[in-house]
Chains A and B, each alone.
Chain A
Amino acid sequence: MIGFIRSLGRWGLGTLERLGRGHLFLMHTLAGLPGLFLRPALVIQQLFSVGVLSVLIVLISGLFVGMVLGLQGYNTLVDFGAEESLGVLVSLSLVRELGPVVTALLFAGRAGSALTAEVGLMKSTEQLSGMEMMAVDPVRRVIAPRFLAGFISMPLLAAMFSAIGVIGAFIVGHGLLGVDDGAFWSQMQTKTDWYGDVMNGVIKSIVFGFVVTWIALYEGYDATPTSEGVGRATTRTVVHSAFAILGLDFVLTALMFGDI
C-alpha cells in the first residue's frame, strides 16, 4: 500500500517536473528566435525538411478527404433535394475543422516524429553536449530554427489541404455526380465568411503548429539518450500531439464559434 502511494507520488512529481521543464524549454526556445533573423539559412533548411517534405502527403490526403466529403455529402443532401449546398458543406467542414485538424495530425506523424527522432538521436550521440562544449547553445542552434519552421509550415500546409479538398469535392460533385458548378461555387461563396470561417481555421492551424512542434522538439530534447528512449519519445510525440490537437480543437472551436 505504502509502495503504491509512493509510486503514485513519484509519478505525479515526475509529470509535474516534465511539465515545468517543457515550459522552461519553450521559454528558452522563444528567447532563441530573434537570433534567427541573422541566420535565415538555418530556417530555410528546416523549412525544407519540415514543410516541403510534408506537402505531398498533405495534398494527397486533402484531395481524398475532399472527394469523400463530396460523395458522402451528396448522398445525404440529395435526399432533401439540397445537393447544390454541397459546396457549403464541403468548404465549411474543410476550412473550419478538417483542414487544420487532419493536417495537424498528419504533420505530427510526418514531421513531428522526424523532429523528435532527429533531436533525440543528436542527444544520444552527444552532439548536443558537444555543441555546449564549444559554447554553442544547442537550443538556439538546433531547436529554435526547427521550431520556427514548424510554426510557419503548419498554416501553409493547412491552407493547401483545405484548397485541394475543395477542388477534390468539386471534381466528384461536378464531374461525377453532376452538381451544377455555378451553384456549387456561388453557394460556397455566400456562406463561407473570410473572417469568421477561413481566418479562424488559420488561427487554429497556427496554434496546432505551435503545439505540435513544441511537443516534438521537447520530447526529442528530453528523451532518454538510448535507442529505446528515442523510440519511446517518438511514440510519445505522436500520441501527445494527437491529444493536444483534439483537445485544443474543442477549446478553440468553443471560443471562436460556440458563443459560450
Chain B
Amino acid sequence: MLQKKSTEILVGLFVALGIGALFMLAMKVSNLADFSDERGYQITAQFQNTGGLKVRSPVTMAGVRVGRVAAIELDPISYNAKVTINMHPQFDNIPADTSASIFTAGLLGEQYISLDAGADDFYLQDGDELMLTQSALVLEQVIGQFLYSVAEGN
C-alpha cells in the first residue's frame, strides 16, 4: 500500500512539474501575459502604405506601448490601407487630433505605429479615426527620390 501511495505521489509530482513548465513557458517566455489586458477601445487610421506592418504589431506613444494592431484591410473607396488599432483601456485620455506614423524599430527591425499626441480638448473614443497619418518609409522609394534629386541637382 505504501509502495502504491509513493508511486501516485511521484506521478502527481510529474504532472504538476509538467504543467508548471507549461505555465512558465506561458508567463515567462511567451507573450500570453499581456493578452488579458487587451479589452480596450478600437480606433482606425488610414495609411497610403503600411509597408511591413503586421497584425499584432505594437502601437506606441513616446515609446510606451499603448495598444496593438488588430486588423489591416484595404479600404475599397480610397484604396488606402485601413488599420484598426486596439488601444489599452487605461490610455483613455489621448487627444482626438493625435497623428499616427509607421516607423521601423532599428535598421532592420519590425515596423510599428507611433502616435504623436495632439492638443485637442476632446479624447479619442471607440470607433474614431485618426486623420493625420504618415505612411511607412519604403526604402526603394527613398532611394529613388534621392537619385532623382541628385540627377535634378546636376
Chain A residues with CB under 8 Å of chain B are 41, 44-45, 47-48, 51-52, 55, 91, 95, 152-153, 155-157, 159-160, 162-164, 166, 185, 188-190, 192-194, 197-198, 202
What residue in chain A is nearest B25 (Cβ atoms)?
A: A198
5 A-B pairs (CB sep. < 8 Å): A44-B8, A91-B30, A193-B56, A194-B30, A198-B26
Chain B residues with CB under 8 Å of chain A are 4, 7-8, 10-11, 13-15, 17-22, 24-26, 28-33, 35, 56, 58
Known contacts A166-B29, A194-B26, A194-B32; decide if A48 and B10 are in contact (CB<8 Å): yes
13 additional A-B pairs beyond A163-B21, A164-B21, A194-B31, beta carbons within 8 Å, are: A44-B11, A48-B10, A51-B14, A55-B17, A95-B25, A155-B18, A156-B14, A159-B18, A160-B17, A162-B25, A162-B29, A189-B29, A193-B30
Q: Which of A51, A159, A188 lies in contact with B11, CB distance below 8 A? A: A51
Main secondary structure of the interface of B (DSSP, over half): helix
Q: Which of A45, A47, A95, A189 lies in contact with B31, CB distance below 8 A? A: A189
Q: Is the CB of B18 within 8 A of A160?
A: yes
Q: Which of B8, B17, B29, B35 lies in contact with A198, CB distance below 8 A? A: B29
What residue in chain A is nearest B11 (Cβ atoms)?
A: A47
A185 CA to B27 CA in the complex, in Å? 11
A159 CA to B23 CA in the complex, in Å? 9
Whole-angstrom distance from the CB of A145 to the nearest CB of chain B? 12
Contact partners of B11 in chain A: CB under 8 A:
44, 47-48, 51-52
Contact partners of B22 in chain A: CB under 8 A:
156, 159, 163, 202
Whole-angstrom distance from the CB of A56 to the nearest CB of chain B? 11
Contact partners of A48 in chain B: CB under 8 A:
7, 10-11, 14
What residue in chain A is nearest B28 (Cβ atoms)?
A: A185
Known contacts A166-B29, A189-B31; decide if A156 and B17 are in contact (CB<8 Å): yes
A147 CA to B4 CA in the complex, in Å? 21
Whole-angstrom distance from the CB of B14 to the nearest CB of chain A? 5
Contact partners of A44 in chain B: CB under 8 A:
7-8, 11
Q: Which of B15, B32, B33 lies in contact with A156, CB distance below 8 A? A: B15
What residue in chain A is nearest B20 (Cβ atoms)?
A: A163
A216 CA to B35 CA in the complex, in Å? 40
Known contacts A55-B14, A156-B18, A160-B21; decide if A45 and B7 are in contact (CB<8 Å): yes
Whole-angstrom distance from the CB of A220 to the nearest CB of chain B? 22
Whole-angstrom distance from the CB of B25 to the nearest CB of chain A? 5
Whole-angstrom distance from the CB of A120 to the nearest CB of chain B? 24
Whole-angstrom distance from the CB of A83 to the nearest CB of chain B? 14
Known contacts A156-B19, A189-B31; decide if A47 and B25 are in contact (CB<8 Å): no
What residue in chain B is nearest A91 (Cβ atoms)?
A: B29
Q: Is the CB of B30 within 8 A of A192?
A: yes
Interface centre among A44, A185, A202 (most CB of B within 10 A): A44
A157 CA to B30 CA in the complex, in Å? 18
Q: Which of B10, B25, B26, B58 lies in contact with A52, CB distance below 8 A? A: B10
Q: Is the CB of A157 within 8 A of B18?
A: yes
Q: Is the CB of A159 within 8 A of B29?
A: no
Q: Is the CB of A192 within 8 A of B14?
A: no
Whole-angstrom distance from the CB of A42 to the nearest CB of chain B? 12
A44 CA to B7 CA in the complex, in Å? 8
A221 CA to B38 CA in the complex, in Å? 52
Q: Is the CB of A95 within 8 A of B18?
A: no
Q: Is the CB of B25 within 8 A of A163?
A: yes
A95 CA to B25 CA in the complex, in Å? 8
A152 CA to B19 CA in the complex, in Å? 11
A122 CA to B58 CA in the complex, in Å? 59
Q: Which of B8, B10, B21 lies in contact with A159, CB distance below 8 A? A: B21
Whole-angstrom distance from the CB of A111 to the nearest CB of chain B? 12
Contact partners of B33 in chain A: CB under 8 A:
189
